[in-house]
Amino acid sequence: MTASPATHPLQRVDGVPECTLGDALASRLPDRSAAAPWQTRVQAVMWFHPAADGAAELLPPRLRGERTIPLTIGAFIRYLDTPVGPYSEVLAAPVLLARTPLPASVVPFIAVDSLPSIHGGRANWALPKTLAAFEWTAAPPQLGEGPFSVRGEGTHGPSAWSVAATVSPRRRRLPIRFPLRDVQLTPDERELDIPIFVSGRAQLASAEISSSGPSLPAWLLPGRHRALVLPQARMTFGAPR
């Protein structure tokens, strides 16, 4: 995890090196954004693989003593409708916290192509969002036709990074409705327990993933992984508890 002098309060939200929020980008953030909860419409692909050795070390120090489930989750998401407008997102959680009644992700890597989303993610949920450029094969993306990719804004700097995916979904679409849970820590170590709910249709799939950057290749592993495509879904990001 990174730590650097902050000139903007939201720069203190911590993440992996790829999510460092530099002074120039922080100065471009809006003064405010929509408060939680956010109701959204999305298209997405989520992939899963066994966690790499040492992946749990990416958790905040306060959470590293907890029992974990050694599963890494990544996702590309296209938000078609949100309180701050449409935008694209990539995120990953290195392991899950083995909490009951529902395991929880912790997200140290997340990037979007929307300044209001960066502000909202950091202010509402302590998500270390940064800015990136996305390339989709269609608009809106047909997630089975990849590849599609994202590259960090600072492509010539020390924190340059990228993630790419080619997705092969099965034809059958199944109805889904399920809760998710994310836990983030604020800069003052306050724990935010974030309820998320997903409903829509999904397809089983496989995804060929590649990544580059200071930390990503060591834990967001390249290769072919099991995946789930959501060609149409609704997601609710609740107010933290």
The model's confidence at residue 142, banded by pLDDT at 50, 70 and 90, is low
Closest CA to 233 of 196, 195, 199: 199
CATH code of 173's domain: 2.40.400.10
Please state the separation of Cα 65 from the chain's center in Å: 23
Which domain, by its residues, includes 196? 36-237
| Separation of alpha carbons 174 and 230, rounded Å | 10
Residue 8 lies inside a defined structural domain of this protein: no
The model's confidence at residue 2, banded by pLDDT at 50, 70 and 90, is low
Residue 162 lies inside a defined structural domain of this protein: yes
Residue 74 lies inside a defined structural domain of this protein: yes
The answer to whether residue 155 scores a pLDDT higher than 90 is no
Residue 204 lies inside a defined structural domain of this protein: yes
pLDDT at 181: 98
Q: Are 114 and 34 in contact (CB under 8 A)?
A: no
Q: Are 148 and 160 in contact (CB under 8 A)?
A: no
Based on the structure, what is the number of domains in the chain?
1
Residue 118 lies inside a defined structural domain of this protein: yes
Handedness of CA 132, 137, 140, 144 (dihedral sign): negative
Closest CA to 101 of 13, 195, 25, 230: 195
Q: What angle do CA 82, 19, 147 make, to 5 degrees?
A: 65
**Model confidence pTM above 0.75:** yes
Residue 19 lies inside a defined structural domain of this protein: no
Mind listing the pLDDT tens digit for each residue in 14-34? 999 999 999 999 999 999 999
pLDDT at 147: 76
Residue 14 lies inside a defined structural domain of this protein: no
Which range is least confidently modeled, 1-5, 7-11, 94-98, 135-139? 1-5
Residue 24 lies inside a defined structural domain of this protein: no
44 SS3 class? strand
The model's confidence at residue 136, banded by pLDDT at 50, 70 and 90, is confident
- CA distance readout (Å), 79 to 28, 41, 42, 48, 211: 22, 6, 5, 21, 22
The answer to whether residue 124 scores a pLDDT higher than 90 is yes
- CA distance readout (Å), 71 to 106, 144, 226: 12, 24, 12
Mind listing the pLDDT tens digit for each residue in 156-173? 445 689 999 999 999 999
Mind listing the pLDDT tens digit for each residue in 73-113? 999 999 999 999 999 999 999 999 999 999 999 999 999 99
DSSP 8-state class, residue 183? E
- Side-chain-facing half-sphere of 122: CA atoms under 13 Å: 30
User: DSSP for 191-214?
Assistant: EEEEEEEEEEEEEEEEEEEEEESS
Q: Are 195 and 241 in contact (CB under 8 A)?
A: yes
